[in-house]
Structure 1
Amino acid sequence: MRSLFRLLAVLLLGASPALAWEHWGGDRGGMRFSPLAQITPDNVGTLVRAWDFRTGDLDVRAPEVMKRTKFETTPLVVEDSLIFCTPFNEVIALDPGTGVQKWRYDPKISTAQRPANRYVCRGVAYWVDDRAAEGSACRSRIFTGTNDVRLIALDAKTGQPCAEFGTGGEIRIDAGIKLEWPGEFQITSAPVMGRGVVVVGSSISDNRRVDAPLGTVRAYDARTGQPRWTFDPLVHEGVSAGGSNVWAPMSVDEGRGLVFLPTTSPSPDFWGGKRPGNNEHANSVVALRIATGELVWAFQTVHHDVWDYDLPAQPTLARIDTGDGMRDVVIQPTKQGFVFVLDRDTGKPVWPVEERAVPQGGAEGELLSPTQPFPTHVPPLLTQRISADDAFSLLPGFGGACKKLLADARNEGLFTPPSTQGTVVYPMTGGGVNWGSAAFDPVNQILYANTSHAVHMIKLIPREEAKGFSPPPGHDFGRQEGAPFGMSRSVAMSPLGLLCNKPPWGEMVAVDLKAGKILWHSTVGTSEDVAPLGIAFHWGTPLLSGVAITAGGLVFTGAMDAYLRAFDAKSGRELWQGRLPVPGIANPMTYLWKGDQYVAIGAGGHSEAGTSIGDSVVAFRLPRQGEGMSLWSRLIDRPGGRFAGKAAAAGLVLIALVALLCRWRRRRRVKAV
């Protein structure tokens, strides 16, 4: 009865009640909510691995190529298949119950191009042509974008290219500018569909040059591939810049005929002297007519961005109780940890957003905005200020390096401008909520999001010095050609390789939007798969990926250790861990197949995050009659991991002994001198 009630509630609230997972975000609006309730807090601890499918990339790709992959795919379940893409844009269809391959399409992208944002494919899009005859070829289609900037249409049942789309099933997209190298411009997120139109964004290399490729969003006829419209988010009058592209996932309101774009910062990220003003419509949620590309509204979340605080998350389309009745909204989380809630028809904030004064005194030639927008109703999802006194020390007396690093940099809180002195950017440019986006429970009216907590050190390097600059290990370097400064970026870390800010370093957050209240924080992830001897400190890991929520009262997520986890949606308590071959830094999803509810996740690691690399998709379900958890699973598929508490305690003692030994030896050397 409870499951039936929840399903009826979802229907009444206007959310998609699909028992499959037909879109990258679960539904067109990215709520990541499933009405399935077979798996519950009471039985989730008995989940068993149903199947593990390997793409084979580890076997056939060169190791140096695999070291440039990010396995961020979220599968769809459509046309009786589970369909996903690999980092190399192969599209694979599996039997949802067994994981056996049904078909596979390889676009044969070149691995000599070295894409700027690594080899990655977050997902594919599904569309059914209601004008086509039942059973005809390509009536149902899978659309995918590629790292070498093609848009491809495949028959969803067979994987064969749809010959009538573009040229032989594909469109080659021109960047409209001479590229420095082929990988400067790529497609990483899934296209979106609406009213017979397919829309695709692009990903562009950061901080290479002022005149970077334009961030043009492109739309095509879903049947023929004929161009329908283009939209450049950046208003170029009086501005010399590129970028402001849409690399993150988009959302569609089919009923309204709107597509919602989360746009990025103009080029380059950390100096904007050649792009005066607020740079409309960069760093904005933008609503367009999907049929024509006409601008309906835009709301900017950062003015004149010089912190790389672009919008990385899919705009979540939900119907919420505001206290004054139900309202259709767009929920946009940010890297800073803000949550903007906007009216879906007008783009105006549902609750007040204040323009507050922010630090000034930018680098030479900079033209900072004197204020930035701050939401007032929903509190930030994470802390937004750090001082030298907040530096993390594993043991008393060993935090000096981090304390000095933070003390020597310019640090006036959120929106402190980049400087030649070096500036603390906290939350970091990959912090807060990232491409995994947020999830919304339409029944209980609660928003869930993963957040990352880390510090970036940003330093501007004068042009003459930048010409011969060689970045130290662990530092990114961007030439920012055309600007008077290059830039260096690094994560603030101790000599032991630990983050300089205190744990937790990754948290799941639950928010009551109506009340404007954070219900709970829950630490996600341990150090088990990166620390010596598998020591499992419960400090959390940075969380780029997102969550999936169910009417069964569960929230599922991966982390940078090799586990899929389930949390109680009401309390945030961790209930279960399922061991993965390598970390699943991808969004989980859930579906019903032949009476069983499954939870699946891409488990291929993430080279940029420094994890081990794999090529798997793994699915779990409840045990069937006669099945049971193995002894190994009973030991590791539980909260805390492999005897985490005892291992952490033993590890801390070991580290303390090693640290004391090192200090003793250092003192002996000093005395000897």
Structure 2
Amino acid sequence: MNLFPKEPQLTVVARLIICISVFFISACNSENSTSQYATWTHYGGSPEQSRFFDAREITKENVNQLEIAWVFPTEDETPYFFSPIIVDTVMYVMGKHSSLIAVNVVTGKEIWIHANLNGLTRRGINYWESKDKKDKRLIFTINNTIQAIDAVTGKSILSFGKEGYVDLREGLGREPSSMRRIQPMMPGVIFEDLLIIGSSPGENYFSPPGHVRAYNVVTGNMEWIFHTIPQPGEFGYETWPKDAYKYIGGVNVWSEISVDTQRGIAYLPVGSPTYDYYGADRIGSNLFGNSLVALDARTGERLWHYQTVHHDLWDYDLASAPQLLTINRNGKKVDAVAVATKHGFVFVFDRVTGEPIFPIEEKPFPPSEMPGEEAWPTQPIPSLPNFTRNEVTKETLNPYFTDSIKQFWYKRLEIGKSGLYIPLSDKHENITMPGALGGANYGNTASNPTNGMMYILTQEHASIYKLNKVEPPKVDLSVNELQRVKALYNTTCQTCHGKDMSGGVGPSLQKIGEQLFYDEFRSTVVNGKGQMPGFVHVDEETLKAMYRYLGGNPMSFNFRRNLEPIIPKGPVVATGGASIIPDETRALPMSDYPEEVDHPSERYTTEYGLDWPALAAPPWSSLVAYNLNDGSIAWRKPVGQDSLYVQGDQSKGAPSGVLRKGMIVTSTGLVFATAKGGKLYAFDAENGDLLWEETLSHEVNAQPSMYWLDGKQYLVINATSNFAKDSYDHSKKQGALPKGYVVYALPDKK
């Protein structure tokens, strides 16, 4: 439903006021932009994704005087993972029931609200402006499309792409309507007039391929595509079975792409092939899976690559932003690129040639026990010290466990296997450290580009894996299921939702499976919503069958669209983004190998095994500083606060917790870091001394941002998430702030 089928026209006076205000605040702040790192117009601060900010007001000596300057409330209960960007003195945030909001940071007032952007990429958006600054655009992905909004007026740019959008499902060599999930969870990166973007196609068998593409930000035309799964005649094709590109998925960049803007080189941290933990249908090393790939950012041509894991069987995709630094190596300055991995290693290369700066050795590891599987016999191990543990033993088991739990795990450790690069099996458990959560993950790396220092937020959580033989995912309903679903609908749903699901007292259910996550659908049916009662008697298999009947796939992922858009109070200029033309036909997701290709007779999968994340002793989360001039770890500090986060005695507290947070490094030698428990820290970048600590009223799950205005420096923290049950809920304390974007600054000089 679109409440504004034709977006309301701003009056001439209103448009003039907006344009004048944006021009004024732009002029006020232009004198401050003396460095390429003095703005935060990209997700990671700049296209380099260094999270480095060049400003001199906040220092080691005065950082402990920071105080809250102002707060922008999000005004709903939704946790937002959105990282604000600031252009001159306009900050773009997400809030108010999934609205994109332009806020004047001088006055704290809303300039415009574009409401009802459900499905917009969770982590952030991109900003682009023409050289004459007359065309200013916000570029983002929403519901598997790329769209553009005028950054001044907040209205959709309908000349972009086809009627205002580009379908990301097109151009991947698969039937577009069969793809339920392709847009990335990160915003991509802007370089010149291009949006370079990856994807998040999922990690199941037959998920779509994760080819990386570049689109023109004005026209929406695709300018180039890099096949991460090589096709016949392309480099790397021989590292796969014949025709593997027809059925293999993944090998995608779902996180952060870094760009050397001076050289025009894009650095891609590429993820794992499908299926993550069993690769009998992809025998070979599998380029460009788990590789750092350097491309010509203007053409997409491969310049060099390095594969950090061959034939990945552990989901050790590259997930954090490659860091671009100038290091002093043996008395010589070298422009380097460093990437941290989910399994605790740091690889460092010459940024131009791809040559390793520190030695890397191929070391042998055990073969696979699984039928048809051929684990790669060696894996690359860099000479730099790793920043995580890679094994769980009796000696390293969590000391807070009760004696009974310790005995329970002693037995499991005797039977199972733990250690680096041990292939998964259906005969025993693998206690893998780190597991599915990493190590280093998205938003977890930062650097000072000038002095060779790199910072990593790391978490050490184990996964317990065991392969199980499975049947292919079921997407069609059997005759019995169809009868059962129709009977349930006729007796329970038809009265309110209509005989043909077109609606009545209740809303239409047509294609509801495309509009809700399965968990949301299940929760609504079981628990009820609004005037709808809950139906607790419906079993899980019938729920899944009903969801498939309504157009969803419980094995897949669907981007959420609210059925009844909520238009918030304030200067709403548009709602819903560009109208997406529905598919005339909707093909089922790919569920089997093409007839003409050879393939294994069996498939195996495993759960992520995250029931015991705090299996090893704390600290579970740390901030680690690498000196890449000599390849040493300069310092390490535990971060975050959590309850024990284990099954057992939860009365004690532990000095670190689960995190996927963010950092900012400043030119004055500070590292700001957020962590579990609403924690915000300022560390001395040189030695790790804690200089300032703050506890926010709500949990933080987004990248911090920074800006400055008229000589004053501001730190922006998105504090909109709820505290977990196992953590300390600061939102209920006296004086707690509302959910929102919290802005810190030094007190005004008297």
Quickly name the TM-score band, shorter chain normalised: 0.7 to 0.9
Between the aligned partners of 2:725 and 2:219, the Cα distance in structure 1 is 39
Matched, 1:341 2:348: yes
Sequence identity, in percent?
31
Which of these residues, 24, 45, 48, is aligned with residue 29 of structure 1? 48
Q: Which amino acid aligns with 1:305?
A: D
Cα distance change on mapping 1:583 and 1:608 into 2, 3 Å: closer
Shift of 1:330: 1.3
Shift of 1:519: 1.1
Report 1:369-518 matches (<5 A): 369-376=376-383, 378-394=384-400, 397-398=403-404, 399-411=406-418, 413-420=419-426, 421-463=428-470, 483-491=602-610, 493=612, 499-518=614-633
Q: Secondary structure at the match of 1:401?
A: helix
Report 1:200-349 matches (<5 A): 200-206=197-203, 208-209=204-205, 211-235=206-230, 237=237, 238=241, 239=244, 240-349=247-356
Partner deviation per Cα, 1:624-643 (whole Å, 9 max, x = no partner): 357xxxxxxxxxxxxxxxxx
> Do the aligned residues in 1 keep the contact of 2:45 with 2:705 (CA within 8 Å)?
yes
Matched, 1:557 2:712: no
Between the aligned partners of 2:660 and 2:653, the Cα distance in structure 1 is 19
Cα distance change on mapping 1:53 and 1:537 into 2, 3 Å: same
> Do the aligned residues in 1 keep the contact of 2:700 with 2:720 (CA within 8 Å)?
yes
Cα distance change on mapping 1:179 and 1:544 into 2, 3 Å: farther
Cα distance change on mapping 1:310 and 1:524 into 2, 3 Å: same
> Do the aligned residues in 1 keep the contact of 2:390 with 2:432 (CA within 8 Å)?
no
Which is worse superposed, 177-186 or 606-615? Answer: 606-615
Q: Secondary structure at the match of 1:49?
A: strand
Matched, 1:596 2:720: no
Cα distance change on mapping 1:530 and 1:453 into 2, 3 Å: closer
> Do the aligned residues in 2 keep the contact of 1:588 with 1:601 (CA within 8 Å)?
yes
Cα distance change on mapping 1:169 and 1:327 into 2, 3 Å: farther
> Do the aligned residues in 1 keep the contact of 2:472 with 2:591 (CA within 8 Å)?
no
Between the aligned partners of 2:422 and 2:108, the Cα distance in structure 1 is 49
Matched, 1:20 2:136: no
Match of 2:103 in 1: 94
Matched, 1:570 2:686: yes
> Do the aligned residues in 1 keep the contact of 2:137 with 2:148 (CA within 8 Å)?
yes
Between the aligned partners of 1:615 and 1:170, the Cα distance in structure 2 is 32
Cα distance change on mapping 1:86 and 1:229 into 2, 3 Å: farther
Q: Secondary structure at the match of 2:413?
A: helix
> Do the aligned residues in 2 keep the contact of 1:431 with 1:452 (CA within 8 Å)?
yes
Cα distance change on mapping 1:196 and 1:40 into 2, 3 Å: same
> Do the aligned residues in 1 keep the contact of 2:424 with 2:465 (CA within 8 Å)?
yes
Which is worse superposed, 90-99 or 188-197? Answer: 90-99
Between the aligned partners of 2:257 and 2:705, the Cα distance in structure 1 is 18
Between the aligned partners of 1:547 and 1:74, the Cα distance in structure 2 is 12
Cα distance change on mapping 1:454 and 1:603 into 2, 3 Å: same
Which of these residues, 124, 141, 161, is aligned with residue 145 of structure 1? 141
Shift of 1:415: 0.9
Between the aligned partners of 1:246 and 1:87, the Cα distance in structure 2 is 30
Matched, 1:105 2:224: no
Match of 2:189 in 1: 192
Between the aligned partners of 1:448 and 1:369, the Cα distance in structure 2 is 31
> Do the aligned residues in 1 keep the contact of 2:169 with 2:179 (CA within 8 Å)?
no
Q: Which amino acid aligns with 1:445?
A: G
Q: Secondary structure at the match of 1:558?
A: strand
Q: Secondary structure at the match of 1:349?
A: coil
Matched, 1:125 2:126: yes
Match of 2:569 in 1: none
Q: Secondary structure at the match of 1:374?
A: strand
Between the aligned partners of 1:507 and 1:47, the Cα distance in structure 2 is 23
Q: Secondary structure at the match of 2:467?
A: strand
Between the aligned partners of 2:230 and 2:467, the Cα distance in structure 1 is 26
Between the aligned partners of 1:570 and 1:187, the Cα distance in structure 2 is 35
Q: Which amino acid aligns with 2:138?
A: I
Shift of 1:563: 2.3
Q: Secondary structure at the match of 2:410?
A: helix
Q: Which gives a bigger RCO, structure 1 or 2 (Cα 8 Å, sep 6+)?
A: 2
Match of 2:149 in 1: 154
Q: Which amino acid aligns with 2:188?
A: P
Q: Which amino acid aligns with 1:578?
A: E
Partner deviation per Cα, 1:215-260 (whole Å, 9 max, x = no partner): 1222111221112122221125422411101111111122222222
Q: Which amino acid aligns with 2:112?
A: W
Partner deviation per Cα, 1:323-372 (whole Å, 9 max, x = no partner): 24112221111101111111121222122111111122342211110011
Between the aligned partners of 1:217 and 1:607, the Cα distance in structure 2 is 35
Q: Secondary structure at the match of 2:606?
A: strand
Larger radius of gyration: 2
Partner deviation per Cα, 1:72-102 (whole Å, 9 max, x = no partner): 3222111321123469864322222454322
Cα distance change on mapping 1:233 and 1:464 into 2, 3 Å: closer
Which is worse superposed, 165-174 or 555-564? Answer: 165-174
Between the aligned partners of 1:536 and 1:125, the Cα distance in structure 2 is 43
Shift of 1:375: 0.9
> Do the aligned residues in 1 keep the contact of 2:473 with 2:555 (CA within 8 Å)?
no
Partner deviation per Cα, 1:484-540 (whole Å, 9 max, x = no partner): 2121221252xxxx7111000000001111111111110101126989999783421
TM-score, length-normalised on structure 2?
Answer: 0.71
Partner deviation per Cα, 1:596-642 (whole Å, 9 max, x = no partner): 2111122223799987899522111112357xxxxxxxxxxxxxxxx
Between the aligned partners of 2:683 and 2:257, the Cα distance in structure 1 is 27
Between the aligned partners of 2:286 and 2:448, the Cα distance in structure 1 is 34
Structure 1: any 5+ residue segments left out of the alignment? 1-14, 59-65, 111-118, 472-476, 627-673
Between the aligned partners of 1:108 and 1:588, the Cα distance in structure 2 is 22
Q: Secondary structure at the match of 1:404?
A: helix
> Do the aligned residues in 1 keep the contact of 2:146 with 2:168 (CA within 8 Å)?
yes
Q: Secondary structure at the match of 1:235?
A: coil
Cα distance change on mapping 1:90 and 1:263 into 2, 3 Å: farther
> Do the aligned residues in 2 keep the contact of 1:85 with 1:122 (CA within 8 Å)?
no
> Do the aligned residues in 2 keep the contact of 1:455 with 1:492 (CA within 8 Å)?
no
Which is worse superposed, 287-296 or 349-358? Answer: 287-296
Cα distance change on mapping 1:354 and 1:492 into 2, 3 Å: farther
Aligned residues: 573
Shift of 1:448: 1.0
Q: Which amino acid aligns with 2:83?
A: T
Cα distance change on mapping 1:387 and 1:52 into 2, 3 Å: same
Matched, 1:523 2:632: no
Between the aligned partners of 1:295 and 1:26, the Cα distance in structure 2 is 26
Cα distance change on mapping 1:350 and 1:288 into 2, 3 Å: same
Cα distance change on mapping 1:43 and 1:306 into 2, 3 Å: same
Q: Which amino acid aligns with 1:374?
A: I
Between the aligned partners of 2:99 and 2:468, the Cα distance in structure 1 is 40
Cα distance change on mapping 1:16 and 1:535 into 2, 3 Å: farther
> Do the aligned residues in 2 keep the contact of 1:50 with 1:98 (CA within 8 Å)?
no
Q: Which amino acid aligns with 1:212?
A: S
Q: Secondary structure at the match of 1:390?
A: coil
Shift of 1:179: 7.8
Between the aligned partners of 2:36 and 2:209, the Cα distance in structure 1 is 38
Between the aligned partners of 2:299 and 2:618, the Cα distance in structure 1 is 47
Match of 1:50 in 2: 69
Match of 2:58 in 1: 39
Which is worse superposed, 23-32 or 393-402? Answer: 393-402
Q: Secondary structure at the match of 2:607?
A: strand
Match of 2:162 in 1: 167
Match of 1:579 in 2: 695
Q: Which amino acid aligns with 2:635?
A: W
Between the aligned partners of 1:501 and 1:370, the Cα distance in structure 2 is 28
Which is worse superposed, 96-105 or 243-252? Answer: 96-105
